[in-house]
Structure 1
Amino acid sequence: MTHTGEPVRTVLVTGAAGGIGTAIALTLARQGCRLLLTDHNVAALRDTQQQCQALGQHIEIRALDVTCEENVAETIQHVLARHGRLDGVVSNAGVAGVVQPIAEYPVDVFARTMAVNTTGTFLCLKYALPALRTSDSGSFVAIGSTSSIRGRAGLSGYVASKHAVLGLVRSAALETVGSNVRVNAVLPGPTQTAMIDAINVMAGQSDTAVNQIQRAVSAPYGQPADVANMVAFLLSPQARHCNGAALVVDGGSTLA
């Protein structure tokens, strides 16, 4: 919970319907944040809402397609109209695409992966950065990946999109220098979620070099809460001097 005398922080979380998004929502709910949780999967989002409300918090949910500019803009304006301020945004919505070598990678899947992961982050930045200035210390956290800083055979769409997310964060951070707004990225390594399970299944079905993906993710998985704790730090006043950072949460797997 927040300390006595501290204002309640209002935070928007995208992709909050499961995995890392749910863990972020629960961590922030325990801290007493006022949350608007969004996802395209409203049925699963309600489950996250119920888990957070079991902690004694009133949590609002809203359907959101992060690839739709109008939808993103309306969501940000909804927060401001309802609460008068926006203190934090966690851009977590993302998809994995498919596991295929580039020569066989479907163009439509590549485009969709870039749209959700990269354009979605761009649109959240575009409309959230002005809104975050309503806070004494606004914080934007994008969920990248260790695929933001390394290549992975068979995951070209995902890797390209997450490299781009980190580029957006670094550009936005430079644009906010000297203001009350900070922009940072968290880069999870393999984390025990439905997404990594799906990647493992796809990689296991491939007879090509993409099977190295399985070796890359064979190290002990992190847990969604490991990522959520780093996000909570970057949203907090304790991270007031962090801007443009890319904080890796991978147990050291990128060092191998």
Structure 2
Amino acid sequence: MPAMPDLAGRIALVTGASRGIGYFLAKGLAAAGAHVIAVARTVGGLEELDDEIKALGGEATLVPLDLADMAGIDRLGGAIHERWGKLDIMVANAGILGVISPIGHVEARVFEKVMEINVISVWRLIRSVDPLLRASDAGRAIVMSSGAAHSARAFWGPYAASKAAVEALVRSWADETKNMPLRVNAVNPGATRTAMRAQAMPGEDPATLPHPSEVAEKILPLASPDLQETGLIFDVRRGRFLRYRLPE
């Protein structure tokens, strides 16, 4: 695993950048020298991030966008192409929990919304920026997953299914691009002190969990031009990549 990367002159896109892990990843990328394209629904959070990045001496472009706006995701890729002609780093971080509920009790609209934001918007983003990442001399794609994709715990059906689908996208994309400079990996951040975790585990003491800034710091090296791994899961708690394995 490389040390903290030198990202001077690189262009990085981060979704879900207004809070949590995405917020601190955006700050870290800017501190490492990247120009950050920060995407989120919450304008106030984006403006706060912009102030933090400017205080670090960095630069950001703010994109208020609801990832349910699929045409907006398409336009984003076009705008990046027009301004920079490439993209060096993509962090697909945004996601929603849905509900913790027995599968048979999940409302159709809730299940569909989880899939829309956690899977379809990620695919749409990949489709929009894939040519831009290929245009980079060292494109890096980081897609947030979850241990839920593998544990498939009771009552976590929609979220677990969405993250399993995202990991399948990562594996296919990585295999398609394995002979190119592009590197594509998923990340399991583990339990983190975020609003989503509090929603899922309301009785949990957040002080017992890592702060999102700590988690982001461990993910940041995946953006390095020196990274060679592709098609893997980076497990933050273990601090290493895990390989996908077929059942024996």
Q: Common fold, TM-score beyond 0.5?
A: yes
- Going from structure 1 to structure 2, the CA distance change for 1:76 and 1:231 (only over 3 Å counts) comes to farther
Does the 8 Å contact 1:86/1:132 carry over to 2? yes
- Larger mean Cα displacement after TM superposition, 92-101 or 44-53: 44-53
* Partner of residue 172, structure 1: 173
Give me the TM-score of the superposition, normalised by structure 2: 0.88
* Structure having the larger proportion of residues in helix: 1
* C-alpha displacement of 1:79: 1.5
Does the 8 Å contact 1:183/1:243 carry over to 2? yes
Q: Distance in 2 between matches of 1:182 and 1:191?
A: 25
- Larger mean Cα displacement after TM superposition, 66-75 or 173-182: 66-75
Counterparts of 1:34-183 in structure 2, within 5 Å, are 34-183=35-184
The number of equivalent residue pairs is 236
Does the 8 Å contact 1:139/1:235 carry over to 2? yes
Moved runs in structure 1, 4+ residues, more than 6 A?
none
The letter for the 2-side match of 1:191 is T
Where structure 2 has 5 or more consecutive residues not aligned to the other structure, the ranges are 240-248
* Partner of residue 242, structure 1: 229
Q: Distance in 2 between matches of 1:42 and 1:157?
A: 28
Q: Distance in 2 between matches of 1:68 and 1:48?
A: 22
* Partner of residue 9, structure 2: 8
The letter for the 1-side match of 2:232 is A
Does the 8 Å contact 2:139/2:225 carry over to 1? no
Does the 8 Å contact 2:8/2:34 carry over to 1? no
* C-alpha displacement of 1:227: 2.9
* C-alpha displacement of 1:2: 7.3
Secondary structure at 1:8 match in 2: coil
* C-alpha displacement of 1:51: 1.6
Secondary structure at 2:112 match in 1: helix
The letter for the 2-side match of 1:125 is I
* Partner of residue 246, structure 2: none
* C-alpha displacement of 1:218: 9.1
Post-superposition CA distance 1:47-87 (Å, at most 9, x none) = 22222221111211012232333111111121221123210
Secondary structure at 2:155 match in 1: coil
- Larger mean Cα displacement after TM superposition, 242-251 or 30-39: 242-251
Secondary structure at 2:201 match in 1: helix
Secondary structure at 2:59 match in 1: coil
Q: Distance in 2 between matches of 1:92 and 1:57?
A: 21
* C-alpha displacement of 1:229: 2.5
- Going from structure 1 to structure 2, the CA distance change for 1:249 and 1:219 (only over 3 Å counts) comes to farther
Q: 1:222 aligns with which of 192, 207, 210?
A: 210
Q: Distance in 1 between matches of 2:234 and 2:19?
A: 22
Q: Distance in 2 between matches of 1:47 and 1:149?
A: 35
Identical columns (%): 34
Does the 8 Å contact 2:5/2:224 carry over to 1? no
Post-superposition CA distance 1:200-239 (Å, at most 9, x none) = 22xx5xxxxxxxxx6xx99942321233234321111221
* C-alpha displacement of 1:10: 0.3
Give me the TM-score of the superposition, normalised by structure 1: 0.85
Secondary structure at 1:140 match in 2: strand
The letter for the 2-side match of 1:115 is E
Q: Distance in 1 between matches of 2:81 and 2:153?
A: 40
